[in-house]
Amino acid sequence: MDQIECVIIGAGVVGLSIARALALEGRDILIIEKEDAFGLHTSSRNSEVIHAGIYYPKDSLKAHLCVRGKEMLYEYCDLRGIPYKRIGKLIVATEDFEIETVKQYITKASDNGVEDLIYLSHNEVAELEPEVISVGAVFSPSTGIIDSHAYMLSLLGDTENAGGVVVYQTSIASIKPEEDGFNVKTEGLNAHEIKAKIVINAAGLYACDVARTTADLDENLIPQPYYAKAHYYSLSGHNPFKHLVYPVARQASLGVHVTVDMAGAARFGPDIAWIEGIDYSFDNSREELFYDAIRRYWPAVNRDQLQPGYTGIRPKISGPNEPAADFLIQSSKDHQIKGLINLFGIESPGLTSSLALAEMVRQLIESEA
């Protein structure tokens, strides 16, 4: 039987961040990934935005870890030369009744420790983004964009340089707590029986499935998973936007917004479509919904400029018409199984929060030692 100190399940951005943090402490790390490469699901199918920490409820994990993670991420990008741009974001009100909501974002952000939001008048918005129609906006200068693939590649490189190992095309068959650790059985290309002292479930979309393979784990502690598909359309032709542009948030989504990638191309999304399982097919019938949503703040858009881009899926643990759930991180104080950490519902701002999530998991492990 192979022996390892720490097994991390999932080679998405959060799993890789955790692996790096623990490997740099000198821990023996094995990452198990079911796909044939790292970061193929939620970690690479998103807006690649470094979020400021504006929308999340005060004192929530999302608020705390986003603000902390943003600081850590910018520092890490500078240290490793990872491409990013602190491009800034406008949250625009397109109708008078939205002005109060926009202004409330300044207070909400301040509650989370984000003190740099600025209210802008209609004329000031027009100076920054001439083609955007608004009656006012707030500007977030600390919002940015990042090359998420380069970031994950760097995390993996740090982990491997510190002795960590990743195996692909390998799934978890069972996790059995034992007196001095865990018996982890895997299946697939690298089917093995592994003895581990620590098991960290960072499987993203599959985290609830992985948790169900764990013997002695109370099923009532495993949340119901929900899958929210997001579509993204690309903008063909000239991109008139210099910043990210968001409408006022509605329902469970932040709305169809403009993001700009590192190459300067614009894309629109995400929408939200609740689905039963993992399905990345693109539903082009949603073009009309996108067109109408974009015209709220960019009336000059031409329908022919919208080209199907890609889809992503958010691993939610709250369903339609429910308030958005916070990140759920369970350790032995929750389930009484020493050495087991489960991360559930790590959707946005998971990318921004990744280094702070890793810091939190490291501290949880140290507290159990």
158 plus 302 within the same structural domain: no
Does 60 fall in a domain?
Answer: no
9 plus 101 within the same structural domain: no
Could you give phi then psi for residue 253, rounded to 5 degrees?
A: -125, 155
185 plus 296 within the same structural domain: no
Note down the domain range covering 94: 86-142+225-316
Task: Provide the pLDDT for residue 230.
Answer: 95
Task: Provide the pLDDT for residue 190.
Answer: 86
Task: Provide the pLDDT for residue 252.
Answer: 44
The number of folded domains in the chain is: 2
Q: What is the pLDDT of residues 55-92, one digit of tens each?
A: 899 999 999 999 999 999 999 999 999 999 999 999 99
pLDDT-derived band at 251, boundaries 50, 70, 90 = low
Q: Is the torsion defined by CA of 316, 321, 326, 328 positive or negative?
A: negative
Does 51 fall in a domain?
Answer: no
Q: Which of 301, 351, 298, 357 is nearest to 328 (CA)?
A: 357
241 plus 356 within the same structural domain: no
332 plus 358 within the same structural domain: yes
Task: Provide the pLDDT for residue 249.
Answer: 74
109 plus 166 within the same structural domain: no
252 plus 307 within the same structural domain: yes
For the chain, give the number of residues: 369
Q: What is the CATH number of the domain that holds 231?
A: 3.30.9.10
Task: Provide the pLDDT for residue 368.
Answer: 86
182 plus 283 within the same structural domain: no
Q: What is the pLDDT of residues 269-307, one digit of tens each?
A: 999 999 999 999 999 999 999 999 999 999 999 999 999
Could you give phi then psi for residue 229, rounded to 5 degrees?
A: -80, 140
Does 67 fall in a domain?
Answer: no
158 plus 259 within the same structural domain: no
Does 278 fall in a domain?
Answer: yes
Q: What is the pLDDT of residues 101-119, one digit of tens each?
A: 999 999 999 999 999 999 9
Does 68 fall in a domain?
Answer: no
pLDDT-derived band at 328, boundaries 50, 70, 90 = very high
pLDDT-derived band at 255, boundaries 50, 70, 90 = confident
Q: Which of 22, 26, 331, 337 is nearest to 181 (CA)?
A: 337
Domain boundary among 291, 316, 341: 316
133 plus 182 within the same structural domain: no
Average pLDDT of 172-199?
Answer: 96
